Chains A and B, each alone.
Chain A
Amino acid sequence: DAKTTQPPSMDCAEGRAANLPCNHSTISGNEYVYWYRQIHSQGPQYIIHGLKNNETNEMASLIITEDRKSSTLILPHATLRDTAVYYCIVRRGGGNKLTFGTGTQLKVEL
């Protein structure tokens, strides 16, 4: 599975959009991009995933560049409860493993 690179930490003001970047320049055509988050002392939580089209659900939006080498997770109106480690993961289509990296620690502040 392709390797991902994320900034180790980011800050965001409450109520503002949080834009979390992820680089996956070696991604292959059949690899999906998944995003999870882990709030302190809890298990990871699935957020969203995509292949090449942008995706949106009740939690977030996922923007994937046309060349698929990077993506951005957008939390449109961040709240204090969105403070967590966010993981960007690339998974091969048909593969059964999710390999978590170190993620981005997002801190949402007043």
Chain B
Amino acid sequence: DAGVIQSPRHEVTEMGQEVTLRCKPISGHNSLFWYRQTMMRGLELLIYFNNNVPIDDSGMPEDRFSAKMPNASFSTLKIQPSEPRDSAVYFCASSFGDPGKLFFGSGTQLSVL
């Protein structure tokens, strides 16, 4: 199994641009989570989906952030417009059965200049 696949690995963009991060969960997993990691705030849960339906988006920082899961094998996290304070590593994780046993991707390092 290839594990959770995230793309791109690195993204450098300018303030005001739209950024789209992508995630392919492990086949058969029914829950998907988006986390953000910064030095100041650590790992923060942004949103999670169960069976492709958003369950809790209380961690999404503001309306500039949106996430979708059009099918069981794909999810996106979009930031529009991006700001320098959005610079972070964004992780996607998936699980099946035990929601505490997450499998994380390698993350996307986002730099907004």
Q: Which A residues are within 8 Å of any B CB, using their own CB?
A: 32, 34, 36, 42-46, 49, 89, 91, 95-102
Contact = CB atoms under 8 A, between A and B. Distances in A.
B101 A96 contact: no
Interface in B19-73: 31, 33, 35, 42-43, 45, 48, 50, 55-56
Given A96-B48, A96-B56, A102-B42, A42 B106 contact: yes
22 contacts: A34-B101, A42-B106, A43-B91, A43-B105, A43-B106, A43-B107, A44-B91, A44-B102, A45-B104, A46-B101, A46-B102, A46-B103, A89-B100, A95-B99, A96-B55, A97-B48, A97-B56, A97-B99, A98-B45, A98-B100, A100-B42, A102-B42
Given A32-B100, A100-B43, A43 B93 contact: yes
Given A96-B48, A96-B55, A97-B48, A44 B104 contact: yes
